[in-house]
Amino acid sequence: MADTAPRWAFARTTAFRVTLLHLALTLAGTALVGGVAWWVTAGFAVRQAGQEVERGMGVLLQAGALSGARGIALSIEARLAADRTGQEYYLLAAPDGQRLAGNLSGVSSERGWREGSIRLPDGTDAPVLMYAQPLPGGGALVVGRDLTAARALEQRLLTGAGWVGGAVLLLGLAGGLLIGRSVARRAAAMDAALAAVQGGDLDRRLPARPGGDEFDRLATRINATLDRLQALMAALREVTDDIAHDLRTPLTRLRQRLDDAARAPTAAAIGAAQAEADRLLEIFAALLRIAQVESGTQRAGFTAVDLSAIAESVAEVYAPAAEERGQTLATAIEPGITTTGDPALLTQMLANLVENAIRHGRPGGRVSLAVGADGIVVADDGPGIPEAEREKVFRRFHRLDASRSTPGSGLGLALVRAVADLHGIGIVLEDAAPGLRARLALPRTA
Amino acid sequence: MPDAPTRPLGDGGTVRILLVEDDAETAAYVARGLEEAGHIVDRAADGQDGLFLATGGGHEVMVVDRMLPKLDGLSMVRAVRAAGIATPVIFLTARTGVGDRVEGLEAGGDDYLAKPFAFAELLARINALARRPPLQQEVTVLRVADLEMDLIRRSVTRAGRRIDLQPREFRLLEYLMRREGQVVTRTMLLEGVWDFHFDPKTSVVETHISRLRGKVDKGFGQELLHTVRGAGYVIRADG
């Protein structure tokens, strides 16, 4: 609940504003429908009355043309006698304004349409539509039609429209209120969760129902982003710890070598200290490179890369190194395998993998490098890596206990993983029985 | 190699060098080393002074730090190139960025060296750039003593005897022979021969050199392919 939000906070919500707009449009639509209804009913009745007035006027004027005022009076008498419903009104006025015939009195005889109210014998007033026409010899003729029925219909339409409009307004407002409050409540819940995350509670997640509405989808997306953020924070902490721990060792060694050199400044002692400093610089360079690759900024410079050519080149470079260890470097490289990426990084990734296989492979054994449409496979027949350790070797500074004594910074595979991730290459380590097999799956779009 | 300790990298000849570096300590260290190697060094501590000195001309190589006050190294070199000065440029950088190298080369740099670097590496690269032959001078045969490389027939002979080389061994030997008498570092070989822009942990260069040596020097009286300790390799006729 919006416990922190003011009571009328929903009025400022988007949902409420959308509801108001929707309401206005619905009312306009209702008004349009009402207008059309009036046009075809009450409006029609009024128009019909008008036509009847015109027709009556025409007939009477004709009678007047044939037999003068007398003819008109006779016609009026005849028509009034025939009008059983009492809807027709006439007035034939003499030039001095005196009524010569008809049932109207006290109306203007100026030419034109007008609508008036006639006091009926029973004391009620009836609306009447009239047309007045001055006559050639002076005097005037007025013809009218009762509009009671049309006006009543109009009244009923208006009443109905009022009810409908009121109901629409009420329902819309109530709906808007409800939706607005619900949206405000959910937004407040999301806001509260995000505020908690911002405050440092990285485990906090937004409420999200699976397969829910757009709010749930948004919340799911934000939760995924928070997961990523949490993972990055964890990785950062891990890296910081690793660096603190793993740099202390070479720094301590450097310190010892310098102590040695201070006691006996021989070229060998100074050289040893220099070598230790170089190693530290190398570690820093490798760490920075991994961090840079992980930041993903290289993607801008991606080009089409011939993986087959890179693999051939790497194999050529490392074949003598393998031979020195009595190993054979067997290649099965399909020509023309390409991907999109950074050639320098991909070269280093392959080189690191091959180097790793040579270094950890069995002396006198076999190292293989295969490149095909399915991807890249690098395998050795050394001791391999226990299954539980296979994911961990990609972490910075992670070194298997067995290989602690051999040279290497524990950053080679971390860089491999970073480069693979950057290029969308999936990498898995498998048991080659015996040995280790690294399998790299190229992205499909390549 | 009797002269190795006294002139470890001296391949003769004084080179006039413009060093543009804002870090006083690095600048002093580099300048001292270069002067010890017999070169003449002009120093500038920012890009503007660097540009001013560079346009004065007379330098054979420029060493330019990328991060400089007033005018950064890239812009400085672009300006130098725009002024029609073709003096070779080596960029120095504290950045290990992969794209930085390309950026530097595109701005008109000829070589690129990431900090921290071994002084021997910088010296070798300066020597390589200062002695770079004009491009139009197309050679077809390279000769070092009795070792002969025919670039058209892709064949190598020593004392008239044919030596069979793998394509990459041929490129390695060609790279060395084109720089006869100059020290070539591991990194230069990795970049120039194998297009590797990183430092492999395994001693791949050493292995390749020792194999090449086995083919080119073994069984012949005079050794041509020498190792310069702490620096790299050099091919030359005299010991």
pLDDT of residue A237: 82
Would you call A267 an interface residue with chain B, using a CB distance cutoff of 8 Å? Answer: no
> Residue B1: which pLDDT band, with cuts at 50, 70 and 90?
very low
pLDDT exceeds 60 at position A400: no
CATH 1.10.287 domain range(s) in chain A: 214-295
Chain A environment of B98 (Cβ under 8 Å):
289, 292-293, 298, 342, 344-345
pLDDT exceeds 60 at position B99: yes
pLDDT exceeds 60 at position A353: yes
Separation CA A102–CA B103 (nearest Å): 106
pLDDT exceeds 70 at position A408: no
CATH fold of the domain at B141-235: Arc Repressor Mutant, subunit A (1.10.10)
pLDDT exceeds 80 at position B111: yes
CATH fold of the domain at A214-295: Helix Hairpins (1.10.287)
Q: What is the pLDDT of residues A95-126, one digit of tens each?
A: 888 888 888 887 887 888 988 888 877 888 88
pLDDT of residue B51: 87
Q: Under an 8 A CB cutoff, do A412 and B201 touch?
A: yes
Q: Under an 8 A CB cutoff, do A351 and B197 touch?
A: no
Q: What is the pLDDT of residues B134-183, one digit of tens each?
A: 555 677 888 888 888 988 888 898 888 888 888 888 999 999 998 888 88
> Residue B63: which pLDDT band, with cuts at 50, 70 and 90?
very high
Residues in contact with A236: Cβ distance below 8 Å, sequence separation at least 6, in sequence order: none
Separation CA A292–CA B95 (nearest Å): 10
Chain A environment of B198 (Cβ under 8 Å):
289, 344, 347-348, 351
Separation CA A83–CA A69 (nearest Å): 21
How far are the Cα atoms of A147, A164, A180, A367, B24 from residue A208, in angstroms, in the given order? 63, 39, 19, 50, 59
Q: Under an 8 A CB cutoff, do B201 and A408 touch?
A: yes
Token couple for B120? 């021997």
Q: What is the pLDDT of residues A304-325, one digit of tens each?
A: 889 999 999 899 888 888 888 8
Separation CA B25–CA A408 (nearest Å): 31
> Residue B97: which pLDDT band, with cuts at 50, 70 and 90?
low
β B89-93/B61-65 pair status: parallel
Would you call B105 an interface residue with chain A, using a CB distance cutoff of 8 Å? Answer: no
Closest by CA position to A418, among listed A297, A302, A305: A297
Please provide the CATH number assigned to the domain covering A298-441: 3.30.565.10
CATH fold of the domain at B16-130: Rossmann fold (3.40.50)
Would you call B197 an interface residue with chain A, using a CB distance cutoff of 8 Å? Answer: yes
CA dihedral A48→A53→A58→A60, nearest 10 degrees, is: 140
Residue ranges of the domains in chain B? 16-130, 141-235
A387: closest CA of chain B, how far (Å): 26
Suggest the residue from B194, B204, B210 to mutate for an interface test with chain A (most A CBs closer than 10 A). Answer: B204
CATH 3.30.565.10 domain range(s) in chain A: 298-441
Q: Under an 8 A CB cutoff, do B196 and A348 touch?
A: yes
CB A409 within 8 A of CB A249: no
Q: Under an 8 A CB cutoff, do B98 and A316 touch?
A: no
pLDDT exceeds 50 at position A404: no
Examine the predicted complex and report whether its ipTM is higher than 0.90. Answer: no
Q: What is the pLDDT of residues A47-100, one digit of tens each?
A: 999 999 999 999 988 888 888 888 888 889 888 888 888 888 998 988 888 888
| Lowest pLDDT segment from A12-21, A372-381, A418-427, B110-119 | A12-21
Q: What is the DSSP letter of A130?
A: E
Q: What is the pLDDT of residues A238-256, one digit of tens each?
A: 777 777 777 787 788 888 8
B208: closest CA of chain A, how far (Å): 7
Q: What is the mean pLDDT of chain A?
A: 83
Would you call A348 an interface residue with chain B, using a CB distance cutoff of 8 Å? Answer: yes
